[in-house]
């Protein structure tokens, strides 16, 4: 039985509409062989798209007795799963939503473990002429020009950040009623592909862009602003359900803060892409 479930272990990228159905299958399968050494990590699509989560889980399993199954969804979906106790630990990247999660009694603690930056990417021709502008000026220019903008529109950490940035730019909410604005309802990699195909602008975490788009004709146009900082945190659940592996969750949090892991995060992808996809938290 162990080998059967070991063969099933993989990282799932789950689109907004179908993640619940697939998760129920995971719960059914893992429930048949649950034990103190098994844990379910709910994380974001960016850690999967870049390959980082596979590397981290592999190292965590080498250093401990735990066997980890991973579900990768948008942060909004991950937090909903956490509310229900559908998982043992979260690795997410929407600080304000995480704080609300804890203040609502669903989370026991939130620990920042790594970071990178959001960037605005688009066609090299840059029809709205946003290159070199601040992020709020750039979004205003896109709106004024009516240039195509593609949003994830999936309540992910990236989507939540995008909404915040539109507000900074003077919009009460993302301009969903505009014909130049399209929401994909999909993960970051798929959204980047759609943006490339339609010659549109989009907001993405830089790690996913580096891992999936470096050889495309899409370019980074706005980068490295304070408003674009993207912090990832491990959130422990405040859930009394007996099936929650709180001990394993704490072990994963401590692993993420370890010097070896922080160095691993900092170096991940550097040789292949010429720069790090993620950075140590301090």
pLDDT digits (tens, 9 = 90+) for 219-232: 999 998 899 999 99
Min mean pLDDT across 13-22, 40-49, 60-69, 87-96 is at 13-22
In this prediction, residues 155-169 reach a mean pLDDT of: 94
Relative to beta strand 229-237, strand 89-92 is: antiparallel
Per-residue pLDDT tens digits for 137-150: 999 999 999 999 99
Question: Which residue ranges does the chain devote to CATH 3.40.190.10?
Answer: 2-115+231-280, 118-228
Distance from C-alpha of 31 to C-alpha of 264, rounded to nearest angstrom: 32
Distance from C-alpha of 61 to C-alpha of 58, rounded to nearest angstrom: 5
Measure CA of the first residue to CA of the last residue in the chain; give whole Å. Answer: 42
pLDDT at 16 > cutoff 50: no
Torsion region of 15: left, alpha or beta (phi above 0 gives left; psi -120 to 50 gives alpha): beta
> What is the token pair recorded at 102?
């804890």
> What is the token pair recorded at 114?
């790594």
DSSP state of 200: -
Per-residue pLDDT tens digits for 177-187: 899 999 999 99
| Confidence at residue 5, expressed as pLDDT on a 0 to 100 scale | 32
Distance from C-alpha of 236 to C-alpha of 111, rounded to nearest angstrom: 9
CATH superfamily of 118-228: Periplasmic binding protein-like II (3.40.190.10)
CA atoms within 13 A of residue 158's CA, in its CB half-sphere: 33
> pLDDT class for 43, splitting at 50, 70, 90?
very high
CATH superfamily of 2-115+231-280: Periplasmic binding protein-like II (3.40.190.10)
Q: Helix H segments across 38-106?
A: 45-49, 52-63, 75-84, 95-103
């Amino acid at each position: 039985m162990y080998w059967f479930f070991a063969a099933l272990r993989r990282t799932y990228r789950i689109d907004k509409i179908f993640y619940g159905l697939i998760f129920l299958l995971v719960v059914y399968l893992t429930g048949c062989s649950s034990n103190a050494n098994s844990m379910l990590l709910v994380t974001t699509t960016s850690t999967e798209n870049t390959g980082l989560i596979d590397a981290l889980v592999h190292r965590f399993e080498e250093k401990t007795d735990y066997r980890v199954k991973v579900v990768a969804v948008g942060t909004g979906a991950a937090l909903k799963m956490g509310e229900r106790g559908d998982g043992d630990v979260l690795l997410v990247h929407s600080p304000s939503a995480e704080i609300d999660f804890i203040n609502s009694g669903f989370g026991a603690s939130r620990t920042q473990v790594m970071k990178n930056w959001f960037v605005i990417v688009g066609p090299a021709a840059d029809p709205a002429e946003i290159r070199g502008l601040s992020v709020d000026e750039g979004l205003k220019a896109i709106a004024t020009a009516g240039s195509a903008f593609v949003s994830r529109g999936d309540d992910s950490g990236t989507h939540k950040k995008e909404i915040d940035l539109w507000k900074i730019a003077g919009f009460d909410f993302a301009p969903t009623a505009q014909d130049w604005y399209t929401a994909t309802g999909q993960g970051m990699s798929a959204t980047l592909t759609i943006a490339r195909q339609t010659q549109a602008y989009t907001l993405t975490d830089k790690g996913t862009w580096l891992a999936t788009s470096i050889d495309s004709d899409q370019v980074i146009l706005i980068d490295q602003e304070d408003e674009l900082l993207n912090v990832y945190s491990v959130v422990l659940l405040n859930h009394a359900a007996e099936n929650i592996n709180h001990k394993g969750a704490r072990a994963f949090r401590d692993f993420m803060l370890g010097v070896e892991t922080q160095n691993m995060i900092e170096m991940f992808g550097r040789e292949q892409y010429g720069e790090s996809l993620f950075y140590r938290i301090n």
